[in-house]
Chain A
């Protein structure tokens, strides 16, 4: 049977995520005052920021954090986009072209869309969208330091993911403090950053999960999920920690909470995603959401975030699609944040190629 916003597993997940987030977002101490700014000037410092691609996972975290934190606390949403001279050809010539090029990045588009929905569903909160635009020259400037931080990880793919996390965690960009407001320069004060990592593995969010189901049915899907779950501990969280914490900030992973993971491991696959479930026609529109990560989609729907609940699984990383290496394809699935960052310098190298 199809999952809906009222399914028991959706309610269970909501409670588990609330508990997980309560540990991670409540009682964060005030961040120290940044050098050169005084307490009375500028925007209220945020205690919490979210690594915000605008995708389902991080947006659900934002929505539940809203339910837990006093409305007076602003939340910074960090959205990173990279100038890629190979794609954004005109963007070096003037500021407008640069801006336009970065606003066309997939993560920026979804980021803006989910930001608008958060502002609409939770208008009493000051949501601050921080558009982090990284010029190519700046990426190059910081590259050596990023390579040092991520050591012993050493592939192109590592570097592209690390770059996204590095600049997002730095948290410097143009801030929009509400719908239609001007953008102003801003560096987030928050020392706690939430990441939506883990949801794709736990709830079958990758395209290859759908592919596995289409080719080999439930057995294929289960095998694919088992592989992912086994790899959870070997995910590149150590690398991510080294890169993010370089800015004196800490990433927290609400989906990787022990109880959330335990529940997701124990739950039958039909309670997490509903590939091939018979159509339920009781007028509940949430039943018709996409089968991948269905439990999380239904939760988003339940919390009033219908647009993000319906988001289409987009091509994970457009720049990599021309590479056919199988191993690399598996790896591209790991990018769920800062998608269009990879491969800006060499056109033929593969993501798994060690950096020279």
Chain B
């Protein structure tokens, strides 16, 4: 069985209740080109989610996206509370709203990638519960991903020889190359835009070495009682 089919089969064992695919492209139109001259496709994005439905009365299929397809969410988690409020009904929708609203605000105020990632991290810090997630904000050409600060859910990545970036909850083993667990140490941001410059002070992630710039908003300890050299256990709080 080809590796990606094997991964799909394993994903379907994890989530027997639904399987969904979403395909998107990320395009850029260089400023010197007029609209008639078209645009450059910079990246192809393929999202696959399978769902084990344990929240709410019916299964919410994933990847979840809005009507104009400007945001896509793959959510593997349980948001017990958001900003201290118990999540009623299905949490996938609640997280989708939380992130797409945050991304829309970043977009309207034209935040640079560092500030936009900080904004996403701040919103995720309000979520209590285990999770890993991948969220695509199409207007800004950024993909955010991460795991809760205790790493209660799996998420791995690997760069192919061609520079493609693969991200998955489970893998087909080492046959196609080694995967790395994404550390549960922050919110990661993949910048799809080839032209974007990273602001100074960005926390650049060099592995896996794909065609994209990856930065991180590290978690830090929230409890005041911990000293500076104490282990960095926090409540998914972004570095302030």
Binding site for B on A (CB under 8 A): 23-24, 28-29, 147-149, 151-152, 154, 191-192, 226-227, 229-235, 237-239, 241-242, 245-250, 252-253, 256-259, 261-262, 265-266
Contacts and interface: CB of A to CB of B under 8 A. Distances in A.
Given A229-B233, A258-B128, A237 B225 contact: no
A147 B173 contact: yes
Contact of A234 (B81, B151, B171): B151
Contacts of B55: 29
Given A148-B173, A248-B15, A248-B16, 4 more contacts: A24-B80, A148-B171, A241-B169, A259-B128
A192 B54 contact: yes
Contact of B152 (A154, A226, A229, A256): A256
A257 B128 CA distance: 8
A72 to B, nearest CB: 20
A226 B222 CA distance: 15
B174 A253 contact: no
B235 A258 contact: yes
A262 B149 contact: no
Interface stretch (B41-49, B116-124, B180-188, B206-214): B180-188
Interface stretch (B18-26, B94-102, B105-113, B153-161): B153-161
B14 interface: yes
B231 interface: yes
Nearest to A244: B14
A230 B10 contact: no
10 contacts: A29-B53, A234-B184, A238-B184, A241-B152, A241-B153, A245-B13, A245-B170, A247-B13, A248-B52, A266-B225
A31 to B, nearest CB: 9
Interface of B: 10, 13-16, 52-57, 78, 80-81, 86, 128-130, 147, 149-156, 169-174, 178-181, 183-185, 222-223, 225-226, 230-233, 235
A28 B53 CA distance: 10
Contacts of A241: 152-154, 169
B150 A246 contact: no
Chain B CB within 10 Å — which of A149, A231, A233, A248 has the most? Answer: A233
B57 to A, nearest CB: 7
Contact of A230 (B14, B172, B233): B233
Contacts of A147: 173
B54 A266 contact: no
Contact of B173 (A151, A233, A247, A266): A151
Contacts of B15: 248
A237 B231 contact: no
Contact of B150 (A237, A242, A265): A237
A191 B55 CA distance: 12
Nearest to B184: A233
A238 B181 contact: yes
A237 B170 contact: no
B170 A242 contact: yes
A134 to B, nearest CB: 19
B57 A191 contact: no
A233 B178 contact: no
A152 B178 contact: yes
9 closest residue pairs by CB, A with B = A230-B231, A238-B154, A148-B173, A241-B154, A23-B80, A245-B14, A258-B128, A248-B16, A151-B173
A232 B150 contact: yes
Contacts of B53: 29
A179 to B, nearest CB: 31
Contacts of A246: 10, 13-14, 170
B233 A152 contact: no
Contacts of B222: 262
